[in-house]
Structure 1
Amino acid sequence: MTDTSTPVVALDTSALMAPVEANIRLFEELDRLLGTYEAVVPAAVRSELDGLASGAGTAATAASVGADLAGRARTVGVDDADVEDTDAADDDTYAADDDTYADDALVALAVTGRVDFVVTNDRPLTERVLDADTPVICLRGRNTLAITEP
């Protein structure tokens, strides 16, 4: 956990796309759950959103909205060394694409204690973050967020 009194919340691509895909009011739900917090987005998540937004269809629209919402958060970098410490390179499913790197960046933020929560709707990422002893905020019900403790 971080040493500040204000919790730091890292946002995943799926969380930032949820307002379109799941009709959720992301920041209002975070306000309800946490009150005061600092939202951060790894640079790799911004890159993933930009790539998805350049396509067509509903996913591109959701990614475009997500990219706009990411502007409400501070962009953070993650060192390659921190990502390597998440054991992603030993995982058989590891591939050096934006999606995997974004997930690895979020896990690295959790492992290194730079964030107090990760917001995601991605089940495999949820499991990895919980394994790093970091709580996950994810969708519960139709359009409500809830905290899952490790």
Structure 2
Amino acid sequence: MKVIIDTNALMIPVQFNVDIFEELRRLGYDIHLVPTAVINELNILIKNLKGSDRTAAKVARAMIDRCEIIQADGHADDVILNLATDLAASVLTNDIGLRKRLEKRDIPVICLRQKNRLEILP
């Protein structure tokens, strides 16, 4: 199954010490997609953040090597919403605003639960 990974989700391993790729495998997701809009967002965060948040963004940028990159630029949330619809993919995100938009379109959402595991929202 396909999953699109949002910027904040790529930062989960550093911020919460959760292996998102192992958790996604456990949930049955074996195709990990990252749009270029997310990569652009990470590059901006690396430039602008400091301390542990900057480290999390740098690690997230390095983890993209484990994903399939999709050429799709623009506002990351809009790009993710459109790609999820077009590709019939789920989305891994902790962004509440994006989650609500995805749920309105009946797109499966995966998020961090209890700061230690990923879960597919009903």
Question: SS in structure 1 opposite 2:115?
Answer: coil
- Equivalents in 2 of 1:78, 1:131: separation in Å? 22
In the alignment, structure 1 residue 52 sits paired with structure 2 residue 45:
yes
Corresponding residue for residue 121 of structure 2:
148
Q: Distance in 2 between matches of 1:58 and 1:79?
A: 27
- Contact kept? 1:110, 1:132, Cα under 8 Å: no
Report the 3-state secondary structure (helix = DSSP H, G, I; strand = E; otherwise coil) of the residue aligned with 1:142. coil
Whether the 8 Å contact between 2:24 and 2:118 is mirrored in structure 1 is yes
**Higher helix proportion, which one?**
2
In the other structure, the counterpart of 1:16 is 10
Counterpart Cα distance in 2 of 1:111 and 1:144: 25
Q: Distance in 2 between matches of 1:111 and 1:29?
A: 23
Residue 144 (structure 1) shift: 0.4
Q: Secondary structure at the match of 2:106?
A: coil
Task: Among all aligned residue pairs of Structure 1 and Structure 2, give the percentage whose two residues are the same amino acid.
Answer: 41
> Quick one: distance in 2 between partners of 1:29 and 1:60?
23
Work out whether residues 5 and 34 of structure 2, in 8 Å CA contact, stay in contact via their aligned partners in 1. yes
The CA distance in 2 between the partners of 1:49 and 1:68, in whole Å, is 10
Are residue 26 (structure 1) and residue 20 (structure 2) matched? Answer: yes
Q: Which residue of 2 aligns with 1:110?
A: 84
| 1: CA distance, partners of 2:89 / 2:80 | 11
The reply on whether 1:134 has 2:82 as its aligned counterpart is no
Deviation at 1:9, TM superposition (A): 0.6
Structure-2 separation of matches of 1:52 and 1:147? 27
Unaligned 5+ runs, structure 2: none
Structure with larger Rg: 1
Task: Count how many residue pairs are aligned between Structure 1 and Structure 2.
Answer: 121
The structure 1 segments of at least 4 consecutive aligned residues displaced by more than 3 Å after TM superposition are none
Q: In structure 1, what residue type is equivalent to 2:31?
A: E
Using structure 2 for the length normalisation, give the TM-score. 0.91
TM-score (norm 1): 0.75
Shift of 1:79: 6.9
Equivalent position of 1:89 in the other structure: none
Partner of 1:43: 36
Measure, in 1, the Cα distance between the counterparts of 2:30 and 2:42: 23
- Native 8 Å contact 1:10 1:115 kept in 2: no
